[in-house]
Amino acid sequence: MLVPHKLATVCSLSGEMLRSSNAETLVRQVLVESAGPGIDSVLFSANPASANQPAGLLNGIPALTPAASGQSKGEILVDDLQKLATAIGPVAGNGDIVLVGSPDAAAALKMRLPSSVEWPVLTTNSLAPKTVIAVAAAAVISAIDGLPSIDTTTEAAIRYDDQPGDIVDIGGVFARPVGSLFQTDVIGLRLKWKITWALRSPSALAWMSGVNW
Protein backbone atom coordinates (compact mmCIF):
# COMPACT_ATOMS: atom_id res chain seq x y z
CA MET A 1 0.00 0.00 0.00
CA LEU A 2 1.30 3.44 -0.92
CA VAL A 3 1.13 6.10 1.78
CA PRO A 4 1.38 9.73 0.61
CA HIS A 5 4.58 11.58 1.54
CA LYS A 6 6.30 14.71 0.36
CA LEU A 7 9.85 15.95 0.07
CA ALA A 8 10.27 19.49 1.34
CA THR A 9 13.26 21.77 1.74
CA VAL A 10 13.77 25.47 2.44
CA CYS A 11 16.66 27.85 1.84
CA SER A 12 17.07 31.59 2.06
CA LEU A 13 19.07 34.21 0.19
CA SER A 14 19.65 37.89 0.78
CA GLY A 15 17.45 40.24 -1.18
CA GLU A 16 20.58 41.81 -2.65
CA MET A 17 21.69 38.45 -4.09
CA LEU A 18 18.31 37.59 -5.53
CA ARG A 19 18.01 40.97 -7.17
CA SER A 20 20.97 40.09 -9.40
CA SER A 21 20.26 38.98 -12.96
CA ASN A 22 19.98 35.18 -12.65
CA ALA A 23 20.38 34.32 -8.96
CA GLU A 24 16.86 32.99 -8.44
CA THR A 25 17.07 30.76 -11.51
CA LEU A 26 20.34 29.26 -10.27
CA VAL A 27 19.04 28.70 -6.75
CA ARG A 28 15.88 27.03 -8.06
CA GLN A 29 18.08 24.68 -10.10
CA VAL A 30 20.22 23.84 -7.07
CA LEU A 31 17.09 23.10 -5.03
CA VAL A 32 15.81 20.67 -7.67
CA GLU A 33 19.21 18.99 -8.10
CA SER A 34 19.65 18.54 -4.35
CA ALA A 35 16.33 16.70 -4.18
CA GLY A 36 17.86 13.69 -5.97
CA PRO A 37 20.50 12.84 -3.33
CA GLY A 38 17.95 13.54 -0.61
CA ILE A 39 15.54 11.02 -2.12
CA ASP A 40 18.35 8.46 -2.60
CA SER A 41 19.37 8.70 1.05
CA VAL A 42 15.86 7.59 2.08
CA LEU A 43 15.11 5.26 -0.85
CA PHE A 44 18.26 3.14 -0.45
CA SER A 45 18.23 3.01 3.34
CA ALA A 46 17.18 0.30 5.77
CA ASN A 47 15.06 2.71 7.80
CA PRO A 48 11.47 1.78 8.66
CA ALA A 49 8.53 3.89 7.53
CA SER A 50 7.62 6.89 9.64
CA ALA A 51 5.12 9.72 9.55
CA ASN A 52 7.60 11.72 7.48
CA GLN A 53 8.92 9.21 4.96
CA PRO A 54 8.33 5.79 3.38
CA ALA A 55 10.44 2.81 4.37
CA GLY A 56 13.79 2.41 2.66
CA LEU A 57 13.98 -0.40 0.12
CA LEU A 58 16.48 -2.29 2.31
CA ASN A 59 14.25 -2.22 5.38
CA GLY A 60 13.88 -5.70 6.87
CA ILE A 61 16.06 -7.35 4.22
CA PRO A 62 19.34 -8.78 5.60
CA ALA A 63 22.46 -8.44 3.48
CA LEU A 64 23.81 -11.52 1.70
CA THR A 65 27.43 -12.58 2.28
CA PRO A 66 29.69 -11.78 -0.68
CA ALA A 67 32.15 -14.31 -2.10
CA ALA A 68 35.47 -14.09 -0.29
CA SER A 69 37.82 -15.29 -2.99
CA GLY A 70 38.18 -16.59 -6.54
CA GLN A 71 40.65 -16.93 -9.37
CA SER A 72 39.89 -13.37 -10.52
CA LYS A 73 37.78 -10.38 -9.58
CA GLY A 74 35.55 -11.14 -12.56
CA GLU A 75 34.89 -14.62 -11.22
CA ILE A 76 34.06 -13.28 -7.76
CA LEU A 77 31.71 -10.74 -9.33
CA VAL A 78 29.86 -13.48 -11.23
CA ASP A 79 29.55 -15.57 -8.05
CA ASP A 80 28.01 -12.62 -6.22
CA LEU A 81 25.59 -11.78 -9.03
CA GLN A 82 24.50 -15.42 -9.19
CA LYS A 83 23.71 -15.30 -5.48
CA LEU A 84 21.77 -12.04 -5.86
CA ALA A 85 19.85 -13.29 -8.90
CA THR A 86 18.98 -16.54 -7.15
CA ALA A 87 17.60 -14.63 -4.17
CA ILE A 88 15.20 -12.51 -6.25
CA GLY A 89 14.54 -15.12 -8.94
CA PRO A 90 11.15 -16.23 -7.56
CA VAL A 91 9.86 -12.68 -8.05
CA ALA A 92 11.96 -11.44 -10.98
CA GLY A 93 11.46 -14.49 -13.20
CA ASN A 94 12.35 -13.40 -16.74
CA GLY A 95 11.56 -9.77 -15.91
CA ASP A 96 13.95 -6.86 -15.74
CA ILE A 97 16.59 -6.86 -13.02
CA VAL A 98 18.30 -3.59 -12.14
CA LEU A 99 21.64 -3.33 -10.33
CA VAL A 100 22.32 -0.35 -8.08
CA GLY A 101 25.79 0.18 -6.67
CA SER A 102 27.92 2.55 -4.72
CA PRO A 103 30.18 4.50 -7.11
CA ASP A 104 33.09 2.03 -6.76
CA ALA A 105 30.88 -1.05 -7.13
CA ALA A 106 28.97 0.43 -10.07
CA ALA A 107 32.23 1.24 -11.86
CA ALA A 108 33.45 -2.33 -11.38
CA LEU A 109 30.15 -3.70 -12.66
CA LYS A 110 30.24 -1.58 -15.80
CA MET A 111 33.84 -2.52 -16.57
CA ARG A 112 33.67 -6.23 -15.74
CA LEU A 113 30.17 -7.31 -16.76
CA PRO A 114 30.06 -9.05 -20.14
CA SER A 115 28.36 -7.02 -22.86
CA SER A 116 25.73 -9.75 -23.14
CA VAL A 117 24.39 -8.90 -19.68
CA GLU A 118 21.42 -6.60 -20.18
CA TRP A 119 20.85 -5.59 -16.57
CA PRO A 120 21.03 -1.78 -16.18
CA VAL A 121 23.61 -0.50 -13.67
CA LEU A 122 22.70 2.60 -11.65
CA THR A 123 24.90 4.56 -9.26
CA THR A 124 24.13 6.30 -5.97
CA ASN A 125 26.34 7.98 -3.40
CA SER A 126 23.88 6.97 -0.68
CA LEU A 127 25.26 3.43 -0.44
CA ALA A 128 28.34 2.51 1.57
CA PRO A 129 31.43 1.64 -0.51
CA LYS A 130 31.48 -1.81 -2.13
CA THR A 131 27.72 -2.23 -1.88
CA VAL A 132 25.48 -3.60 -4.62
CA ILE A 133 21.71 -4.11 -4.83
CA ALA A 134 19.77 -6.30 -7.26
CA VAL A 135 16.07 -5.56 -7.55
CA ALA A 136 13.21 -6.78 -9.71
CA ALA A 137 12.19 -3.49 -11.31
CA ALA A 138 8.50 -4.44 -11.62
CA ALA A 139 8.29 -4.93 -7.86
CA VAL A 140 9.12 -1.29 -7.05
CA ILE A 141 6.02 0.90 -7.19
CA SER A 142 6.01 4.66 -6.83
CA ALA A 143 3.75 7.67 -7.09
CA ILE A 144 5.07 11.09 -8.08
CA ASP A 145 2.85 14.14 -8.42
CA GLY A 146 4.39 15.82 -11.45
CA LEU A 147 7.28 18.24 -11.09
CA PRO A 148 8.35 19.76 -7.77
CA SER A 149 6.73 23.06 -6.88
CA ILE A 150 8.88 25.98 -5.76
CA ASP A 151 7.59 29.18 -4.19
CA THR A 152 9.17 32.24 -2.61
CA THR A 153 8.24 34.53 0.24
CA THR A 154 9.58 37.51 2.18
CA GLU A 155 7.04 37.32 5.01
CA ALA A 156 7.91 34.17 6.92
CA ALA A 157 10.10 33.14 9.83
CA ILE A 158 12.59 30.32 9.25
CA ARG A 159 14.13 27.96 11.75
CA TYR A 160 17.76 27.62 10.67
CA ASP A 161 18.31 23.98 11.53
CA ASP A 162 18.86 20.82 9.47
CA GLN A 163 16.28 19.01 11.63
CA PRO A 164 12.74 20.22 10.85
CA GLY A 165 10.47 21.20 13.67
CA ASP A 166 7.97 23.73 14.92
CA ILE A 167 9.15 27.26 15.63
CA VAL A 168 7.02 27.12 18.79
CA ASP A 169 6.32 23.67 20.21
CA ILE A 170 3.17 22.55 22.03
CA GLY A 171 4.66 23.66 25.34
CA GLY A 172 5.31 27.19 24.10
CA VAL A 173 9.09 26.74 23.79
CA PHE A 174 10.65 28.72 20.94
CA ALA A 175 13.13 27.03 18.61
CA ARG A 176 16.52 28.61 17.97
CA PRO A 177 17.88 30.05 15.80
CA VAL A 178 14.90 31.60 14.01
CA GLY A 179 15.12 34.50 11.58
CA SER A 180 12.50 36.87 10.18
CA LEU A 181 12.75 37.21 6.41
CA PHE A 182 10.93 40.54 6.41
CA GLN A 183 13.16 42.18 9.00
CA THR A 184 16.42 41.11 7.36
CA ASP A 185 15.59 41.64 3.65
CA VAL A 186 15.88 37.90 2.97
CA ILE A 187 13.89 35.83 0.49
CA GLY A 188 12.93 32.26 1.37
CA LEU A 189 12.60 29.54 -1.28
CA ARG A 190 10.62 26.38 -0.56
CA LEU A 191 10.58 23.21 -2.64
CA LYS A 192 7.76 20.68 -2.23
CA TRP A 193 7.46 17.41 -4.12
CA LYS A 194 4.82 14.76 -3.48
CA ILE A 195 6.59 11.41 -3.87
CA THR A 196 6.36 7.98 -2.30
CA TRP A 197 7.26 4.37 -3.05
CA ALA A 198 6.97 0.80 -1.80
CA LEU A 199 8.46 -2.62 -2.47
CA ARG A 200 5.74 -5.12 -3.38
CA SER A 201 7.68 -8.06 -1.90
CA PRO A 202 10.86 -8.26 0.21
CA SER A 203 11.86 -11.19 -2.00
CA ALA A 204 12.17 -8.78 -4.92
CA LEU A 205 15.39 -7.24 -3.61
CA ALA A 206 18.73 -8.64 -2.48
CA TRP A 207 21.91 -6.82 -1.57
CA MET A 208 25.39 -7.26 -0.19
CA SER A 209 28.13 -5.03 1.13
CA GLY A 210 31.87 -5.46 1.30
CA VAL A 211 32.12 -7.08 -2.13
CA ASN A 212 35.62 -8.14 -3.14
CA TRP A 213 35.65 -6.95 -6.72
Global pTM?
0.77
- Residue 50 pLDDT greater than 80, yes or no: yes
> What are 100's strand-pairing partners?
122, 133
Q: How far is Cα 123 from Cα 100, in angstroms, rounded to an integer?
A: 6
- The string of DSSP letters for 108-119 reads HHHHHS-TT---
Q: Phi/psi of residue 151, each to 5°? A: -135, 160
108-156 tens-digit pLDDT: 999 988 877 889 999 999 999 999 999 999 899 988 877 788 888 887 7
Q: How far is Cα 86 from Cα 4, in angstroms, rounded to an integer?
A: 33
Quickly state the pLDDT bin for 164 (edges 50, 70, 90).
low
Architecture of domain 73-140+202-209: 2-Layer Sandwich (3.30)
49 close to 55: Cβ distance less than 8 angstroms: yes
11-37 tens-digit pLDDT: 777 777 777 667 767 777 777 777 788
Beta pairing, strands 97-101 & 121-123: parallel
Quickly state the pLDDT bin for 55 (edges 50, 70, 90).
very high
What 3-state class would DSSP assign to 37? helix
Helix axis angle, 73-92 relative to 103-112, nearest 10°?
100
Residues of the chain with CATH 3.30.2320.10: 73-140+202-209
